[in-house]
Amino acid sequence: MTNQYKDKPYNDYGQWIRQRFPFRVQKISVDAGFSCPNRDGTISHGGCIFCDNRTFNPSYCQPSKSIAQQMEEGKAFFRRKYPDMKYLAYFQAYSNTYAPLDVLKRRYEEALAVEDVVGLVIGTRPDCISTELLDYLEELNRRTFLIVEYGIESVNDDTLRHINRGHDFECSRRAIELTHDRGILTGGHIILGLPGEDREENIRQASIVSDLKLDILKIHQLQIIRGTQLADEYQQQPFKLFTPDEYIDTCIAYLERLRSDIIVERFVSQSPADMLIAPKWGIKNHEFTNRLVNRMKELDTWQGAFKSKRVKRYCRRTTHRRRKKKCRLKYLSLQHKISTFATII
């Protein structure tokens, strides 16, 4: 296994973030009261068919509370264990660039004004970005830590239509490029196992994601959440979902084809048990990651290994061909000398 990634066979977010700060940092989610253009009727209604923001919003995240209050309540939870911790305000719920610029500025600046907040993570959609917003984010990036992460979900346009995403993959590619070119750390979010996408299709997408100007990638398994349109589809006509071992194997194959410098933040997500229909694995996030890491070590593989191994195979084949060619030339030269000598005699 390559020693490029220290103790893990992939470019781990936890290790990376510890190198960025001289102190422990923790994301604190906030709900700024935004919506999505595929939810409010601008381009569609109902939102993405798999989505219910309650599955990842902590109880203190209420848009009726100010950003500062949500941050303070989040800090109070973590401060008990780590009193010297610093924080990143994580604008996570819905599309956190989907509002007039002056509104966005007030929300972001309110979060940054909270004591011990050292940066922002802004989750949004690729169709909710503008030149004016990027101008502001570029300036913001010069004075604080900033990540902008986009929900890509899939690179397959048929899948994006099915899940009511409201934009195509080219929209994601363009937004990621525009953001990255401003010098802003740019993240992406991918779901493996969406309807119509099997293991082979998921693995195929890794090389396409690698071609994006991404710094950070979040991966997680498809989950069927009670009350969503996807739950209705699944109950009417169940489709294949990954088992834990199948998902581990898929993640490994995906990582092997993923660009080696992309930072990988996660592989799985946990939804509340009372909201989750399937798959019910009964595995905590860190337990899954440990199993994946151990399996990768058993296989002696790592992030980007597919390209490395392919280059090595090519080099071996090329070296073999060169040796054969050299031997052939020596043989022909010897034959020529014998023929010339025979002619002289």
Domain extent for 56: 13-303
> 8 lies in a domain?
no
Question: Are the CB atoms for 32 and 96 separated by under 8 Å?
Answer: yes
Q: What is the pLDDT of residue 61?
A: 86
328 and 269 together in one domain:
no
| Residues 140 and 191 placed together within one structural domain of the fold | yes
Q: State the pTM of this model.
A: 0.88
Label residue 148 left, alpha or beta by phi (over 0 means left) and psi (-120 to 50 means alpha): beta
| CATH assignment at residue 121 | 3.80.30.30
- In 3D space, the residue among 55, 36, 192, 216 whose CA is nearest the CA of residue 121 turns out to be 216
Q: How many domains are there within the chain?
A: 2
1 located within any domain: no
Residues 12 and 72: their CA atoms lie apart, in Å, by: 28
pLDDT digits (tens, 9 = 90+) for 214-259: 999 999 999 999 999 999 999 999 999 999 999 999 999 999 999 9
Q: Are residues 192 and 288 in the same domain?
A: yes
Would 163 be classed as within a structural domain? yes
Give the model's pLDDT for residue 50: 95
**Average of per-residue pLDDT across 205-215:** 98
Angle 305-197-38 (CA atoms, 0-180°, nearest 5)? 115
267 plus 246 within the same structural domain: yes
In a domain, 6, yes or no: no
Same domain membership, residue 98 and residue 246: yes
Reported as a single tens digit per residue, the pLDDT across 304-321 is: 999 876 555 545 555 556
What span, in angstroms and rounded, lies between the C-alpha atoms of 245 and 338? 64
Q: 170 and 249: one domain?
A: yes
- Domain membership of residue 139 (yes or no) is yes
DSSP calls for 295-313: HHHHHT--TTHHHHHHHHH
Please give the pLDDT value at position 53: 82
Q: Per-residue pLDDT tens for 32-71?
A: 999 999 999 999 999 999 999 888 778 888 889 999 999 9
Of 189, 173, 59, 206, the C-alpha closest to 121 is 189
Q: Is residue 120 part of a domain?
A: yes
The answer to the question of residue 232 being in a domain is: yes
